Amino acid sequence: MTDPSAPAAVSWRELLSPEHAGVAIVLAVGVLVGAINIYLASSLLPTAVAEIGGAGFYAWNMTVYLVAMVIATMLVSRFLARWGDVGAYLLGFGVFLVGSLACALSPVMPVLLAGRGIQGLGAGLLSGLAFAAVRSALPRRLWTRANALMSAMYGVGNFVGPALGGLFAQFGGWRLAFVSMAVIAALCGLLVPRVLPRGDRGDVRAPVPVVSLLLVTAAAAAVSVAGVLSGAAAIAAGIAVALLLVAVFVAHERRSELRVFPRPTYRPGSPLKWLYLTLALLAFGVAVESFLPLFGQRLGGLAPAVAGFFGAAISLGWSATQLVSSSAVKERTIGRLRMLGPLLLALGFLVQGLLQRQDAPLWLVLVWVPVLFIAGAGVGLAYPHLSVAVMSSTQDPGEGERAAAAIATVTSLSIAFGTAVAGALVNLGGSSMLDAARYMLFGFAIICAFGAVTARAASSTGSPASAGRPGS
């Protein structure tokens, strides 16, 4: 159902028209529930631990969830080939529903962690399906708007997750938070057969790339474990192991016929690898949100609730900006936005690091908010256009679905890496919270600035669509 002829401009009104609104809602909510649940449990755990115990497993709730999420995103193309859009989406919402109910009913912490793992599998499948199903569920002229809407859900989820979890925890209803997630999944599951096309099915006998899957899973596990370790040396060792596993994964994929990423990713002259790297560096930067509430409390003297909203400024900038930036249609403008996005993100971190003060006055704390919003705007400027470039990287439907689904894999893995690296940089500050904040913000400014280099490399290697055509 793709339309190769794209008009000069498409309004949000068309995407949200009666013809396409149902599809947009299902795709967006699928991403949203996964994003919300990354941080939802973190707000609920203190209340849950007081009831069911298991404080020793406290830090593992996000690790289990993120690793499961990464695994599921890599299997999206297989599920689409086996069951089509409708069947795969019903499976995703069904698995997420079961995981949410398991969390809600858990009598002990190990059961809660198992529920989080099942939730993560469903969330990863829904996130990957959202980007892959755009190709078959919507005409091509709506891809940029749809990608902007879905990627905005990551930002909205980062904001809503902690706030929603805190609200339920405040009233002692942590189980009801997971029940609410199950209800949302059930309602969306009922909507799926009504609004989504069945989708084309591929070779259901296609073998699973077991080696690639194991390597990425091990890398995700290593970096997630690094994020919960104490001590900069231990965290650095965990990150080094994860990077080594990623390098082995890339080397294996380049020579294997069974891959997670589409063939053009490893083809000389293809911009696809640079597009993925730019997306990875943008998602990597968002991980600083895990520590911003801590800085707000310790350096700015903010109350915990206020500091939590302060930490969501990056996500708000990300979500709000891309809803506007997605209107760009000129190739030169889009190329500039892809390069400007990482630079703006890095600049925001640099300025935020320079503005850090111990016992910062209120006026300075208020300045932090627009600076972080501008940093998040860098993600919003580039993310939807990078996503569409990835989706357009090949004319082959099967490879196109794999390329689109890998966007969620890259995003989830990058957030996990970013969280671990942020923890290592914070630990370098030792007992000084001011030094910790500066190490993290300046370090992320340097890392994210490389996104401009990868974005330029993607533009200089030519059209992704042409690079993905057979024989190119």
Residues 60 and 171 grouped into a single domain: yes
Residue type, 106: S
Residues 181 and 314 grouped into a single domain: no
Region of residue 53 (phi > 0: left; psi between -120 and 50: alpha; otherwise: beta): left
Residues 263 and 194 grouped into a single domain: no
Residues 62 and 170 grouped into a single domain: yes
Query: For residue 197, what pLDDT is reported?
Result: 79
Q: Cα 433 to chain center, whole Å?
A: 28
Query: For residue 172, what pLDDT is reported?
Result: 74
- Is residue 222, in this structure, part of any structural domain at all? no
Residues 179 and 297 grouped into a single domain: no
Residues 278 and 189 grouped into a single domain: no
Q: Is 327 exposed, middle or buried (0-12, 13-18, 19+ CB in 10 A)?
A: middle
Query: For residue 462, what pLDDT is reported?
Result: 61
* 94, 145 contact by CB (below 8 A): no
Please give the residue range of the domain that contains residue 302.
259-472
Residues 284 and 177 grouped into a single domain: no
What is the CATH number for 430? Answer: 1.20.1250.20
- Is residue 230, in this structure, part of any structural domain at all? no
Domain end among 150, 176, 199: 199
Residues 188 and 84 grouped into a single domain: yes
Residues 471 and 343 grouped into a single domain: yes
Residues 139 and 278 grouped into a single domain: no
- Is residue 217, in this structure, part of any structural domain at all? no
- Is residue 34, in this structure, part of any structural domain at all? yes
Residues 458 and 317 grouped into a single domain: yes
* 150, 130 contact by CB (below 8 A): yes
CB within 8 Å of 308: residues ≥ 6 apart? 162, 163, 166, 293
Domain end among 199, 214, 248: 199
Q: Whole-model pTM?
A: 0.82
- Is residue 265, in this structure, part of any structural domain at all? yes
- Is residue 221, in this structure, part of any structural domain at all? no
- Is residue 243, in this structure, part of any structural domain at all? no
Q: What is the mean pLDDT of each run of 10 residues along the chain (472 residues)?
A: 46 83 90 85 80 80 85 86 89 96 94 94 92 84 86 81 79 88 94 80 65 87 78 84 92 85 85 94 88 86 75 84 84 91 97 94 93 94 90 77 84 84 84 92 96 92 48 37
Number of domain units in the chain:
2
Query: For residue 471, what pLDDT is reported?
Result: 38
* 254, 273 contact by CB (below 8 A): no
- Is residue 226, in this structure, part of any structural domain at all? no
> Residue 466 and residue 328: Cα distance in Å, rounded?
21
Residues 181 and 287 grouped into a single domain: no
Query: For residue 403, what pLDDT is reported?
Result: 85
Q: Is 338 exposed, middle or buried (0-12, 13-18, 19+ CB in 10 A)?
A: buried
